[in-house]
Amino acid sequence: MKLIYTILLTTLFLGVTSCVGEYNSGKENPLAQSHEYGSTTSGNSELEQAIKDKENPDRNNWQKPRKVIERLGVLTDKVVADIGAGSGYFSFQILPNAEKVIAIDIDSNALAQIDTLVKSLSPELQPKLETRLVGFNDPKLKDEEVDIVFLSNTYSYIENKVDYLKTVFKGVKPQGRIYIVDFKMKILPQIFPKAEERIPLFEVERHLQEAGFKHVFSDDKTLDYQYIVIAEKE
């Protein structure tokens, strides 16, 4: 599995551009994200050069994906919806440990990229990743379809937030959870969204409560530039 995962992360670099050096605030496509991945070794010099030309390690440094995924807990029998998946930065990293990952986005090109990359996975992993093209206001989750809903760098761009969360709520199984990762309201490096494009932590907490989620818990210590908000459906 470790070998498969290494090969996967290497493959992901092909055709994927860095989002940190030229951060796209998402105004045109609020739920669409471009992503870069951590460096790996493939033994293929041409591939290694392509990775070197495209990668920007900064996101792994500030996003700390391993710590974020640790927050999700044991995923062995869990179905995870990655809303605003972009080209799969978190989807592919969650996949090896989850029962299934649904990569949800409004950007058909990003999802097509995921579909292409999935073909490089092992036969065991391929059927575990599904892409789902959606509109701005509906993640198209079936009733009680998923155990975990995950949104990273996405929530602040959703317009009707409480209504959206109420729709998400229906798609979460009882005792399921939602995780929202977004940028803190403090002075941040210029590569990150402007203050007016962010959302205060207390507003996210209030929205989750209004949508029906319980046991809202906030972690603003693990990540330097972002908070993690966790809530549960009873």
Q: Tell me, rounded to whole angstroms, the distance of Cα 69 from its chain centroid.
A: 10
Residue 229's Cβ-side half-sphere holds a number of Cα atoms within 13 Å equal to 24
Q: Are 167 and 159 in contact (CB under 8 A)?
A: no
* Cα–Cα nearest to 60, from 41, 37, 83: 37
Q: Tell me, rounded to whole angstroms, the distance of Cα 44 from its chain centroid.
A: 29
Give CA separation, 105 vs 56, 68, 108, 120, in Å: 23, 20, 7, 21
pLDDT tens, position by position, for the chain (234 residues)? Answer: 444 444 444 444 333 333 323 333 333 333 334 333 333 233 334 333 333 333 346 788 999 999 999 999 999 999 999 999 998 999 999 999 999 999 999 999 999 999 999 999 999 999 999 999 999 999 999 999 999 999 999 999 999 999 999 999 999 999 999 999 999 999 999 999 999 999 999 999 999 999 999 999 999 999 999 999 999 999
Contacts of 216 (CB under 8 A, 6+ apart): 205, 208, 209, 229, 230, 231
CATH code of the region 2-232? 3.40.50.150
Integer-rounded Cα radius of gyration of the chain: 17
